[in-house]
Structure 1
Amino acid sequence: MAHDPQERNPHKTGHGGRAEFRAQVKATRADFERQVQATRAQIDATNERIEARTGRNLILAVLIGLVLGLAMVFSLIFIKELFMVFAVVIVGFTAFELAEALRRAGRNVPRIPVVISAVAVVPAAFYWDATGQWLATLGGITFIALWRLVELLWPSRRVTLREVRKDIGAAFLIEVYVVFLASFAVLLAAQEGGQWWTLAFLLLVISADTGAYAAGLTFGKHPMAPTISPKKTWEGLAGAALVCLVVGVLLAVFMLGQPWWFGLVFGAVILLAATFGDLAESLVKRDLGIKDMSSWLPGHGGFLDRLDSILPSAAAAYALFLIFG
């Protein structure tokens, strides 16, 4: 009597089915991995094109910007003292960063007194208002100058009087450009309702940077200051202006309780201050012969590379608060 081969070996069909299923899973997984690799290659290629055009790693820049932004917003809205501590850390690192860059350029800037002076100005501005801000800044400059003069007592540290003046001048630059200007943000936040003005001007600076970045990347053809910053374009500035005016009106009406026309003034002033700060830092880096102040913030460069637009904008925002607030 004839028998069906499959009836004689009932496990053969089951084994073949499992093998076929495993082959399908393997093929599906291989196809998925190919798609992931292709997508990743596409993202990397796009990011490389953006980085080549703007000099910034977009993904890392966005992630680090979000972390810093959320920390800043939380501290401003909920605990002003925490914002002061946040500012102490940022200003201290930024002052040290610029001191290191100046030392690499040949200036013997004493780092310890620079950081101590930078850290002292922030709480002075927060707790003792403008008087504390000015006194702490002047005291810090004096402290750094005396430290540098005392260093001349060591034979290995002796240089000409001209070199000493240059070193003290470099320290003066750090204290005024980084520390004093940054302290206006703390001074503003310490005022009654000042946290909202601080948050508003920071949002405007971010809006200006984003608008310039997007418009310059999309439409940028005409360099604005090719000898200082070749990647900045007039199209980018126009995009930043449009965004700043719109965001300025929204912030004035819904956050600051000001009339709509003040938003136009606010947006225009911060746009000019942020652009000036950006170009000023680019000029400093050009004179020092460096691309970024440091590599501490991947995708951004250094702390000063992120604060360049904020520093003069803080002083401008405080002036507007005194006039309109």
Structure 2
Amino acid sequence: MRRHDQGDDRPATPEPRRGLRQDFDARARAARSDFEASIRQRRADFDAKNEALTARTGRNLPAAIGIALAFAVVMLAALLIWKPAFMVVAAFLLGVGVYELTSAMRFAGRDVPRIPSVGLAIAVVPAAFVWGQVAALFTLLIGILVISAWRLVEVAFTTPKPPAGHVVRDLTDGLFVQAYISLLGACVVLLSREDRGQLWVIAFILVVVAVDTGAYATGLNLGKHPMAPRISPKKTWEGFAGSVAASLVVGVVVTVLLLGLPWWTGLVLGVLISGSATLGDLTESMIKRDLGIKDISSFLPGHGGLLDRIDSILPSAAVAYVLFLIAHH
């Protein structure tokens, strides 16, 4: 008989090959651990720098940039593709802005009716876009009367009755909300409905962005002398100088390339918009200080309230609309 060996006939794994594989696995695990540790450290460093920047400037910069870009895309698409779509954008911005401000006022004990206030802000948009100045002003006048009557009816059915001084304050606050947001916002809508008006809207908003960016960058790096410490402690004269310089440069560029006007009109646009944008920002800071709040709302991450982001645009819209009327009449 043929003799067969007893035991396992399977080939054994060579020890050198097994050792190489284990060494490779160990190196791969170590490299992966180092990579993950590096990512965690970079993220921690980024978060720490972002927190320090937020503490210094009062703004979450990455979130602010992302939201600003998103709004820019929506507004540009509405203005350049189909102008009537801009009514939806404008109605949303004004309606939310009025809701935020009236809510902040009510939180501070100012009983401004929210429902008719928001309704008027939205109604003035189609009135301005479709029928023009007279219709927009008529809508505002009727709306303000409705808001005042709404508050007086509330007072009539309230027990105990609020002091007369408080009622007068509520009525004047309701008027202020409409003058500050709805009236100035209507100027953007009136401007957009004009022939080539959408280009003017884009142009003046670009200048407002330049004002904000110039003030932010210059104030962050060079700011030493407070501009209005009781109203807005972070604003500096150095930042204001940077905003004026940036607005002049962008003003010249947009008037020549977008509007087809002489370069010197860009200087006029830049100077006026830098003043109106700064005034709008300070006005909103005064409102927040008067109400005893830091932000109008927390609607937008990194921005605070929506009104915090359009405060510079609102008065600048009136300036741009007047300049448009002067340039075309």
CA distance in 2: counterparts of 1:105 and 1:264, whole angstroms? 41
Q: Could you state the TM-score of these two structures normalised by the residue count of structure 2?
A: 0.94
CA distance in 2: counterparts of 1:10 and 1:118, whole angstroms? 80
Counterpart among 236, 252, 261 of residue 255 in structure 2: 252
Deviation at 1:199, TM superposition (A): 0.5
Structure 1 unaligned segments of length 5 or more: list them. Answer: 1-7
1:213-232 aligned within 5 A: 213-232=216-235
* Contact kept? 1:248, 1:267, Cα under 8 Å: yes
User: Could you report, residue by residue, the CA deviation over 1:248-278 in whole angstroms, capped at 9, with x for unpaired residues?
Assistant: 1111111000000001001111000001101
Give the alignment's Cα RMSD to 1 decimal: 1.2
**Aligned equivalent of 1:138:** 141
Higher helix share: 1
Letter in 1 for 2:139: A
1:282-293 aligned within 5 A: 282-293=285-296
Query: Equivalent residue of 1:10, what SS?
Result: coil
CA distance in 2: counterparts of 1:322 and 1:54, whole angstroms? 37
Which structure would you say has the larger Rg?
A: 2
Change (3 A) 1:157 1:80: farther
Counterpart among 61, 76, 94 of residue 79 in structure 2: 76
User: Could you report, residue by residue, the CA deviation over 1:60-112 in whole angstroms, capped at 9, with x for unpaired residues?
Assistant: 11111111111111111111111111010111011010001100111111111
**Aligned equivalent of 2:53:** 50
Deviation at 1:143, TM superposition (A): 0.7
Letter in 1 for 2:89: F
Counterpart among 81, 85, 88 of residue 85 in structure 1: 88
CA distance in 1: counterparts of 2:27 and 2:21, whole angstroms? 10
Letter in 1 for 2:64: A
**Aligned equivalent of 1:22:** 25
Counterpart among 234, 238, 242 of residue 239 in structure 1: 242
Deviation at 1:168, TM superposition (A): 1.0
Counterpart among 131, 147, 156 of residue 150 in structure 2: 147
Query: Equivalent residue of 1:15, what SS?
Result: helix
Letter in 2 for 1:272: G
CA distance in 2: counterparts of 1:148 and 1:156, whole angstroms? 14
1:173-252 aligned within 5 A: 173-252=176-255
* Contact kept? 1:148, 1:168, Cα under 8 Å: yes
**Aligned equivalent of 1:5:** none
**Aligned equivalent of 1:100:** 103
**Aligned equivalent of 2:4:** none
CA distance in 2: counterparts of 1:312 and 1:18, whole angstroms? 70
CA distance in 2: counterparts of 1:152 and 1:220, whole angstroms? 48
Q: Could you state the TM-score of these two structures normalised by the residue count of structure 1?
A: 0.95
Structure 2 unaligned segments of length 5 or more: list them. Answer: 1-10
CA distance in 1: counterparts of 2:312 and 2:144, whole angstroms? 23
Deviation at 1:14, TM superposition (A): 2.9
Letter in 2 for 1:145: S
**Aligned equivalent of 2:167:** 164
Percent identity between the aligned chains?
50
User: Could you report, residue by residue, the CA deviation over 1:110-144 in whole angstroms, capped at 9, with x for unpaired residues?
Assistant: 11111111111111111111111111111111110
**Which range moved further: 31-40 or 201-210?**
31-40
CA distance in 1: counterparts of 2:245 and 2:160, whole angstroms? 53
Query: Equivalent residue of 1:230, what SS?
Result: strand
